[in-house]
Structure 1
């Protein structure tokens, strides 16, 4: 005889299927989804501001016949990073517009440098890949193609306590930026890296007229009177970067820039720019928010969702198995024709046996007995 399939068996099958699906999802979500999230977003748009004070050469003073260096000048470095083509599932092209200006002067008179840097990088490792790599320092001239290697605007996901190659935009060269320590900024765990650059002869980097000048000694403020003295522009920098290791977001950056004119690299003679420029507090807080948002997404899909899906999957699987086995034992057998057979009444229990009363004729009726005459013969039976 076959067992009937009822609503409980159907529900059991649904629960088992749902449990298996949730368990599979718990295993696959961390692998698939987290891999998608560990990529630099294609809608990236970040503005960072660094502020400080420093010494700045008044460029007009050179043409006036005497180099003048202004001290305690308020300086702001601003960088705006956005995404341009080519960008796709694996690579991203970042364009960074950067300006350095003294805020005690208005308009173009306060602008010290301006560059547009464009580079294509891997969305996971943040290292340069095939694509665009250009630098533009003059708005009236096209961007110059350059070769580059190393990090710049972002660190890789799951950054490590090790040295990374870092590309310096001014030197147009790559050197190691070394891991210093693990620390905290405003309660946020960060890795601190440090890089020292230079001295670099800028006249060998960019063939700009201002990178090597021949002026009278008096103009330079050195001995020699009116004799022409050729000075080279040199560049050094000490760069500190604090990075969220989970997302690779740069929480804080600081540069100690020093540019100067000199006849020898190790003997500065006229300061061009000397300033320490750290990210301001508003930028740091914004970057911390970006890092936390990224880390929350990774944690949600990498830990919370798989754990919840796994627990629900186990519960659904157990409930389905239990309901299926319990429901199977409770089914009634059916005949071949489909009609149920009524169970036979039990004879072993008098309390459950229905007694049918017998009719007592002696109580209700008087039997009629014919009288027999003793002088007559008894009736005979006909054969």
Structure 2
């Protein structure tokens, strides 16, 4: 019985030590990767002052936006994840669906067009389109739909599709969102030349703030104020959007769960393994040596 206990201690100690080595040396490169089975729906709501082309008057509207983001597992690989995204912006009213396909529907504010992009699974930055996305797809630069794992308190390049180039998004501070520590980032562009409506040039402004869970790089909360005008300054759209309260709560819960999983694999397992593993090996080895010494004396 004593021999069984000794070998159990030695075996368990060796197992914990190996597990700690694997968790500290190999696991971070595996778990800190954007999954290729992502399929998310994000809900935003707000207000819009929008030009009605039929009347020529600016109308004040309650609006909602829904963003559908899905990873293409077949087009993705070990290092790159390929996403498709569609964002629908509609009038928020009774029985109005999240997305409208009829271009003549008066509740439709933007015509939803699918977008595709490829990003690095480790640092979340856009990669060369290459064969990852269909030919002719716009080449993105910088961050697109999330921040990197272990986000730092610094500025990043963040893609703005309206102007077709990355902008600097700056770290602004640390905030608690639904019990989750987040990093606040903001970028602000004003009166930039852009194609504000299909085939129509004008001016574009954006003030966008995102609250990021730093361990995973996930966007927990987002607010934005977007303005589009004609070149002469006539208003086209003045839009205020933010994640809904329910969306923020869901994002925070998901972030908390993902952080716990990361900490278990990358912190808890190595800590326990490197502390308990050697102790068990020493105890087991000592008992084994002691039993053999007693055995020789008895002989």
Q: Provide TM-score, normalisation by structure 2.
A: 0.87
Give yes or no for contact 1:182–1:191 (8 Å, CA) kept in 2: yes
Give yes or no for contact 2:75–2:132 (8 Å, CA) kept in 1: no
State the alpha-carbon separation in 2 of the partners of residues 144 and 59 from structure 1: 31
1:306 CA drift (Å): 2.1
Matched with 1:101 is 90
Matched with 1:78 is 66
| 1:50 and 2:59 matched | no
1:9 CA drift (Å): 5.8
1:94 CA drift (Å): 1.1
1:256 CA drift (Å): 0.3
State the alpha-carbon separation in 1 of the partners of residues 12 and 286 from structure 2: 14
Matched with 2:168 is 176
RMSD across aligned positions (CA): 2.7
1:89 CA drift (Å): 1.4
Identify unmatched segments of 5+ residues in structure 1.
1-6, 62-66, 136-141, 212-231, 335-339, 341-383
1:12 CA drift (Å): 4.1
Matched with 1:314 is 278
State the alpha-carbon separation in 2 of the partners of residues 302 and 41 from structure 1: 17
Give yes or no for contact 1:134–1:143 (8 Å, CA) kept in 2: no
1:20 CA drift (Å): 3.2
State the alpha-carbon separation in 1 of the partners of residues 269 and 192 from structure 2: 51
Secondary structure, counterpart of 1:199 in structure 2: strand
| 1:88 and 2:77 matched | yes
State the alpha-carbon separation in 2 of the partners of residues 199 and 144 from structure 1: 28
Matched with 2:117 is 119
Matched with 1:68 is 57
Give yes or no for contact 2:65–2:88 (8 Å, CA) kept in 1: yes
State the alpha-carbon separation in 2 of the partners of residues 89 and 18 from structure 1: 33
1:38 CA drift (Å): 0.5
The answer to which of 289-298 and 101-110 deviates more is 101-110
Aligned CA distance change for structure 1 residues 34 and 60 (closer, same or farther; 3 Å): same
State the alpha-carbon separation in 2 of the partners of residues 261 and 131 from structure 1: 32
Correspondence list, 1:1-383, <5 A: 12=6, 15-61=9-55, 67-71=56-60, 73-84=61-72, 85-104=74-93, 108-113=105-110, 114-131=112-129, 144-203=136-195, 208-209=198-199, 211=200, 232-263=201-232, 268-269=233-234, 271-331=235-295
Aligned CA distance change for structure 1 residues 255 and 10 (closer, same or farther; 3 Å): closer
Measured against aligned partners, the alpha-carbon deviations of 1:222-264 in whole angstroms (never above 9, x if no partner) come to xxxxxxxxxx43221111111011110000111101111232x
Identify unmatched segments of 5+ residues in structure 2.
none
Secondary structure, counterpart of 1:154 in structure 2: coil
Measured against aligned partners, the alpha-carbon deviations of 1:101-152 in whole angstroms (never above 9, x if no partner) come to 12359552211112322100001100011336999xxxxxx98522221112
1:56 CA drift (Å): 0.9
Q: Provide TM-score, normalisation by structure 1.
A: 0.69
Secondary structure, counterpart of 2:263 in structure 1: helix
> Runs of 4 or more off by more than 6 Å in structure 1?
132-135
State the alpha-carbon separation in 1 of the partners of residues 4 and 48 from structure 2: 78
Aligned CA distance change for structure 1 residues 110 and 132 (closer, same or farther; 3 Å): farther
Measured against aligned partners, the alpha-carbon deviations of 1:191-246 in whole angstroms (never above 9, x if no partner) come to 1111112423334x88x34x1xxxxxxxxxxxxxxxxxxxx432211111110111
Give yes or no for contact 1:30–1:302 (8 Å, CA) kept in 2: yes
Secondary structure, counterpart of 1:29 in structure 2: helix
